[in-house]
Amino acid sequence: MSTALIDSCPCNHSTESEALPIIAARLVVKFEATTREFVAASDQNLGHLETQIQQQAQELLRQATERGAQQKADQTPPRCPGCQQELTRRSADHARTFESRFGPLTIKRARGYCRRCHQWRFPADAALGLEETAGYSPAVQEMAALVVSKMPVGEATAVLERLTGVKLPRATLDREARRQGQRAQELRRQLDQKTTQGLVPALQPELTLEPYQMVIQIDAWNIRERDDWGRTQALRRKGKEPERWHWVYTGTCFRLDHRGQTAGGRPVITQRGFVATRQGIDGLREQLHAEALRRGLGQAAGALVIADGAVWIWRLADDRFPEARQRLDFYHAVQHLAAVGRALYGEDKEGLKKWLKPLVKQLKNESAVKVVRQLEELLAELPSGAPSSEAVAKEINYLKEHEERMDYRAARRRGEPIGSGPIESTCRQSQCRFKRTGQYWSPVGDEALLSLEMFWRNDRWHLLFPHSRPSDPSKN
Ligand SMILES: [Zn+2]
């Protein structure tokens, strides 16, 4: 880069070859003028000054970044970014323009051919973190991923421009976020693979003096999808009901000794792993297993799976966490008791309440066996074949099937959770995000979006965007 001092162009734009200190000095003069106007203006508050100073500084920031990018490009060795092979048939000065945090940047870089990969390569692009096909700097890639995983695309476009000045049309933003989501998905796959092969140490490096339990909670919820939108009538004419609801499988895991309280007495879990996937039960099983390993399953004194009564969940637990104890979520058990009550009392809400209360207490403080025995005695007194007796028998079967999983008294004595509150709050948060109007993606898009969300929630965002600093997990 030449540092020759050339007159600035009369329109007040600085020219390419001007030295940064000159641009900076001119900017300071501008700041001072703006400040004088601001001080004199009766209708401006600090917000006006903040906005103007930022806008005026933009060109200096853009140029500083562009020059830095060019210097790095110039110094990048002519090796293949894929295989490190020295490139042949090299030529220089291939210009590329891309969008950055501070506006469009143009750099010139070298190109060469890799005889091993049989491809033309631009080593500088890889060194700068530019993708082959998309024209965005790493900071803009991160912005797109973050805003789209937090809000509907239409809003994201406006919010992004308002807060950062970066203008990405809706379709472009959507495409870039998906691209980042797919990258997240691939990185997740690699991380999970390394974890399950024992190549990565568990997340908790501190010495564990006290033995701890690992709690794993599993659930699933529905999201609506737009794959059949506009085809509803056509499908119905063929006698098919368009399928629009699809399962998202979720899990969370945490160490019992990472449970605590805020200053205000609210229960919190300081470090917790999250999984959410559209890749079915198989996807959940593998991802949750890897997440639990990362959170210290391998070093745990024991593990505990808490969930509702869905068959697939216990199958998954038997399969992937065979050593773990299993517990039926207390509130699900209570719902089944209440179903017995409704069969007996019908519309008599007071009667139902009076009947249910002591049973719930017994279930919590005494034993499930005792509760089930009372229900069986009750059933024996009902006229056989009556609809109420059928309903009661069904609920007794359910409770008997899970008798072993209703060790609530022992759980409470050991200070273990009896309900799956944490996973349900995970679901609520994600559902809230997914169920907002206009936010239904395709299955592929959903998985990409979920991957991004999980990198964020699991404090692994910096693995995806290395320029961002790792966050403090205790602040979650
Ligand atoms: Zn190569």
Give residue 16's pLDDT: 56
Q: Taking residues 139-168, what's their average pLDDT?
A: 92
Contact yes or no for 396/375 (Cβ under 8 A): yes
The pLDDT tens digits of the residues spanning 295-347 come to: 999 889 999 999 987 889 999 999 999 999 999 999 999 999 999 999 888 88
- Tell me the pLDDT band of 40, cut-offs 50, 70 and 90: very high
* CA 269 to centroid of ligand 1, rounded, Å: 46
Model confidence pLDDT, tens digit, residues 84-117: 999 999 999 999 999 999 999 999 999 999 999 9
pLDDT-derived band at 429 (thresholds 50, 70, 90) equals: low
| Whether pLDDT at 3 is above 50 | no
CB 474 within 8 A of CB 170: no
Query: 132 CA distance to ligand 1 centroid (A)?
Result: 15
Measured in Å, residue 439 CA sits from the centre of ligand 1 at 40
Distance 124 CA to ligand 1 centre (A): 14
> What pTM value is reported for the model?
0.83
CA of 88 to the centre of ligand 1 (A): 11
pLDDT of residue 464: 95
Q: What distance in Å separates the CA atoms of residue 87 and residue 193, rounded to the nearest whole number? A: 32
Which residue, among 413, 397, 326, 329, has the nearest Cα to 365 in the 3D structure?
Answer: 413
| 15 or 213, higher pLDDT | 213
Q: Check whether 409 has a pLDDT greater than 70.
A: yes
- Average pLDDT over every residue of 13-20: 67
If you measure from the C-alpha of residue 87 to the centroid of ligand 1, how many angstroms do you get, rounded to a whole number? 8
Q: From CA 72, how far away is CA 435, in angstroms rounded?
A: 44
How many whole angstroms from 298 Cα to the centroid of ligand 1? 38
Q: Average pLDDT for residues 403-431, to the nearest whole number?
A: 79
What is the Å distance from ligand 1's center to 186 Cα?
21
| CA 183 – ligand 1 centroid, Å | 21
How far is it, in rounded angstroms, from Cα 171 to Cα 162?
A: 18
CA distance 81 to 123: 6
pLDDT at res. 51: 94
Rounded to the nearest whole angstrom, what is the distance from the C-alpha of residue 78 to the centroid of ligand 1?
11
Q: How far is the CA of 82 from the centre of ligand 1 (A)?
A: 5
pLDDT grade for 424, boundaries at 50, 70 and 90: low
Instruction: Identify which has the larger pLDDT, 139 or 240.
Output: 139
Half-sphere exposure of 397 (CA within 13 A, CB side): 6
| 141 in Cβ contact with 465 (< 8 Å) | yes
Q: Average of pLDDT values for 447-467?
A: 92
CB 89 within 8 A of CB 113: yes
Ligand 1 centroid from CA 423, angstroms: 45
Rounded Cα–Cα distance for residues 454 and 273 (Å) = 9
Residue 118 CA, ligand 1 centroid: distance in Å = 7
pLDDT value for 224 = 62
Q: How much is the pLDDT for 210?
A: 79
- pLDDT of amino acid 52: 95
What's the mean pLDDT when you consider all of the chain? 86
Rounded average pLDDT over 172-180: 92
Q: Report how far ligand 1's centroid is from the alpha carbon of 108 (Å).
A: 21
Whether 73 and 93 have beta carbons less than 8 Å apart is answered as no
What is the arithmetic mean of pLDDT over 20-44?
Answer: 96
Of 99-113, 245-259, 278-292, 421-435, which gets the smallest average pLDDT? 421-435
**What whole-number distance in Å separates Cα of residue 68 and Cα of residue 71?**
5
Q: How far is the CA of 119 from the centre of ligand 1 (A)?
A: 7
Q: How much is the pLDDT for 440?
A: 52
Show the 3-state SS of the chain.
CCCCCCCCCCCCCCCCCCCHHHHHHHHHHHHHHHHHHHHHCCCCCHHHHHHHHHHHHHHHHHHHHHHHHHHHHHHCCCECCCCCCECEEEEEEEEEEEEECCEEEEEEEEEEEECCCCEEECHHHHHHCCCCCCCECHHHHHHHHHHHHHCCHHHHHHHHHHHHCCCCCHHHHHHHHHHHHHHHHHHHHHHHHHHHCCCCCCCCCCCCCCCCEEEEEEEEEEEECCCCCCCHHHHHHCCCCCCCEEEEEEEEEEEHHHEEECCCCCEEECCEEEEEECCHHHHHHHHHHHHHHHCCHHHCCEEEEEECCCHHHHHHHHHHCCCCEEEECHHHHHHHHHHHHHHHHCCCHHHHHHHHHHHHHHHHHCCHHHHHHHHHHHHHHCCCCCHHHHHHHHHHHHHHHCHHHCCHHHHHHCCCCCCCHHHHHHHHHHHHHHCCCCCCCCHHHHHHHHHHHHHHHCCCHHHHCCCCCCCCHHHC
The predicted pLDDT at position 461 comes to 95
Q: What is the mean pLDDT of residues 161-184?
A: 93
What is the whole-number distance in angstroms between the Cα of residue 187 and the centre of ligand 1? 21
Residue 90 CA, ligand 1 centroid: distance in Å: 14
Q: What is the pLDDT of residues 131-148, one digit of tens each?
A: 887 789 999 999 999 999
For 172, left (φ over 0), alpha (ψ -120 to 50), or beta? Answer: alpha
pLDDT at 369: 92
Mean pLDDT along residues 222-237: 59
**How remote is the CA of residue 194 from the centroid of ligand 1, in Å?**
24
Return the higher-pLDDT residue of 223 and 154.
Answer: 154
CB 218 within 8 A of CB 303: no
* pLDDT for 5 beyond 50: no
Q: How far is the CA of 113 from the centre of ligand 1 (A)?
A: 8
Residue 72: strand pairing partners: none
Q: Which residues pair with 403 in a beta bridge?
A: none
Residue tagged 């690992």 (tokens): 214
- From the CA of 114, how far away is ligand 1's center (Å)? 5
Q: How confident is the model at residue 377 (pLDDT cuts 50, 70, 90)?
A: very high
d(CA 140, CA 176) in angstroms, rounded, equals 9
Query: What distance in angstroms lies between residue 172's CA and the mean position of ligand 1's atoms?
Result: 30
pLDDT of amino acid 470: 73
Task: Choose the weakest-confidence range: 94-108, 277-291, 384-398.
Answer: 384-398
Give distance in angstroms: CA of 218 to centre of ligand 1: 43
Segment 366-393 shows an average pLDDT of 87
Distance (Å) from CA 77 to ligand 1 centroid:
13
The region that residue 260 occupies, defined by phi over 0 for left and psi between -120 and 50 for alpha, beta otherwise, is beta
